């Protein structure tokens, strides 16, 4: 499995992904924003797009569906309870999606929207480390927002049940490039975090297409939404939310609320 990531140069800073099987030359287009660019990416690789998948229904993740379908004849798949342009098949949690050597497992991670898929390529003989396409659920140094139809409690539950159990080696491919802003937020919430400072420096001058691909293990070192037990994070939150509860869920909610206005 080979992954091509491309920044879309739009105000929402979307990443598009082409997931290819090198042996068979077949590919999956994930969340097409611009059909022409995605098709050009496939042609560049010598691949044929056989399947279009959407992580969720937001327009910036589905707007290229019909045009890409017209170019490729590929069917559009999304969660069974999603309604996206051109959809011909509903994916449920736990479904396996196989194309050539590509093996993806569907995770249902509501929160950003009531229906949201993450796609996991588990480690296998072909795939040395697991890969997670996290859509708008988990970003570098942040969690997705819940203000456009989502629910922060669902997001917290998705993190706990679906994402936290994944191995540290898992490579993270999120739906947007927000890493610089998110690291600034992470540092605001946890000023002494050396890894957040280090990565903020590393990425400061990078263009979106050059942003590093991080592992979940690295994310656990600076992403405040994966560091809910950190004493410093809780202390700082108590200054803004004197009534803050003791639970991880309370910390998650408070962080998300602050990030909404960051």
- Interacting residues with Zn ion (CB under 5 A): 58, 136
Residue 63 or residue 236: which is nearer to Zn ion going by CB? 63
Distances (CA, A) of 224 to 131, 177, 191, 205: 21, 17, 11, 23
- Which residues, including other chains, have CB under 8 Å from residue 257's CB and lie 6 or more apart? 152
Task: Read off the tokens for 6.
Answer: 């491309």
Are 259 and 241 spatial neighbours (Cβ–Cβ below 8 Å)?
no
Task: Read off the tokens for 55.
Answer: 């992580």
| SS3 letters across 59-104 | HHHHCCHHHHHHHHCCCEEEECCCCCCCEEEEECCCCEEEECCEEE
Residue 176 or residue 227: which is nearer to Zn ion going by CB? 176
For Zn ion, the nearest residue by Cβ is 58
- DSSP annotation of 159 reads I
Residue 136 or residue 177: which is nearer to Zn ion going by CB? 136
Are 88 and 77 spatial neighbours (Cβ–Cβ below 8 Å)?
yes
Residue 34 or residue 136: which is nearer to Zn ion going by CB? 136
The CB-of-67 to Zn ion minimum distance in angstroms stands at: 19
The CB-of-135 to Zn ion minimum distance in angstroms stands at: 7
The CB-of-230 to Zn ion minimum distance in angstroms stands at: 27
Residue 64 or residue 130: which is nearer to Zn ion going by CB? 64
Interatomic CA distance for residues 97 and 86, integer angstroms: 18
The CB-of-59 to Zn ion minimum distance in angstroms stands at: 9
The CB-of-143 to Zn ion minimum distance in angstroms stands at: 12
Residue 50 or residue 112: which is nearer to Zn ion going by CB? 112
Residue 82 or residue 255: which is nearer to Zn ion going by CB? 82
Nearest one of 246, 225, 113 to 164, comparing CA atoms: 225
The CB-of-201 to Zn ion minimum distance in angstroms stands at: 29
CA 61 to chain centre: 11
Are 191 and 166 spatial neighbours (Cβ–Cβ below 8 Å)?
no
The CB-of-4 to Zn ion minimum distance in angstroms stands at: 21
């Amino acid at each position: 499995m080979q992954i091509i990531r491309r920044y879309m140069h739009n105000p929402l800073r979307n990443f598009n992904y082409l997931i290819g099987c090198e042996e068979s030359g077949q590919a999956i287009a994930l969340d097409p924003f611009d059909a022409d660019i995605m098709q050009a990416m496939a042609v560049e690789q010598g691949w044929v797009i056989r399947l279009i998948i959407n992580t969720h229904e937001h327009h910036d993740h589905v707007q290229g569906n019909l045009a890409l379908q017209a170019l490729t004849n590929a069917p559009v798949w999304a969660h069974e309870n999603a309604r996206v342009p051109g959809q011909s098949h509903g994916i449920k949690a736990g479904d396996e999606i196989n194309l050539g050597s590509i093996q993806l497992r569907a995770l249902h991670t509501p929160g950003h929207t009531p229906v949201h898929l993450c796609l996991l390529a588990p480690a296998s003989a072909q795939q040395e480390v697991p890969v997670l396409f996290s859509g708008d659920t988990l970003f570098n140094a942040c969690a997705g927002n819940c203000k456009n139809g989502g629910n922060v409690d669902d997001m917290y539950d998705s993190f706990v049940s679906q994402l936290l159990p994944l191995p540290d080696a898992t490579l993270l491919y999120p739906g947007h490039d927000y890493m610089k802003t998110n690291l600034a937020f992470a540092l605001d919430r946890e000023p002494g975090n050396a890894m957040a400072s280090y990565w903020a420096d590393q990425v400061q001058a990078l263009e979106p297409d050059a942003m590093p691909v991080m592992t979940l293990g690295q994310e656990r070192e600076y992403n405040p939404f994966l560091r809910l037990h950190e004493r410093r994070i809780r202390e700082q939150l108590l200054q803004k939310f004197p009534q803050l509860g003791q639970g991880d869920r309370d910390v998650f909610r408070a962080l998300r609320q602050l990030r909404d206005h960051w």
